[in-house]
Amino acid sequence: MKKFAILAALVATPAFADQPVTINFAAEIGGQPFACDATYAGLGSTGAAVRGADFRLYVSDVAMVAADGSRASVTLDASDWQHAGVALLDFEDGRAACANGTAPMNTALQGTVAAGDYIGVAFKVGVPFEMNHGDPTTAPSPLNLTSMFWNWRGGYKFIRIDMVPTDRSKDGPKGWFLHLGSTMCASEGKTDAPEAPCKNPNLMEITLDGFAPATQTVVIDPSDVVAGADLRVNAADTSPGCMSFSGDADCMTVMAKLGFSYGDLPATDQALIRGR
CB neighbours of residue 103 within 10 Å: 10
**181 touches 244 (CB < 8 A):** yes
CA atoms of 75 and 21, how far apart (whole Å)? 9
Phi, psi (deg, nearest 5) at residue 239: -65, 155
Q: Decide: helix, strand or coil at residue 147.
A: helix
Q: Is residue 235 pLDDT above 90, yes or no?
A: no
Query: For position 190, what pLDDT does the model report?
Result: 60
Closest CA relative to residue 245, chosen from 260, 230, 223, 257: 260
Average pLDDT over residues 231-258: 90
Rg (CA), the chain: 21
Residue 122's CB is within 10 A of a number of other CB atoms, namely: 19
pTM > 0.85: yes or no: yes
pLDDT tens-digit profile of 71-99? 999 999 999 999 999 999 999 999 999 99
Position 238 scores a pLDDT of 83
Among 69, 90, 74, 72, residue whose Cα is nearest residue 209? 69
Average pLDDT taken over every residue of the chain: 90
Q: What mean pLDDT comes out for the span 61-69?
A: 96
Kindly report which listed range (23-27, 124-128, 187-191, 246-250) carries the lowest average pLDDT score.
187-191
Q: How far apart are CA 231 and CA 240, in angstroms?
A: 9
Phi, psi dihedrals of residue 31, rounded to the nearest 5°: 85, 0
Domain boundaries, given as residue ranges, for the chain: 16-275
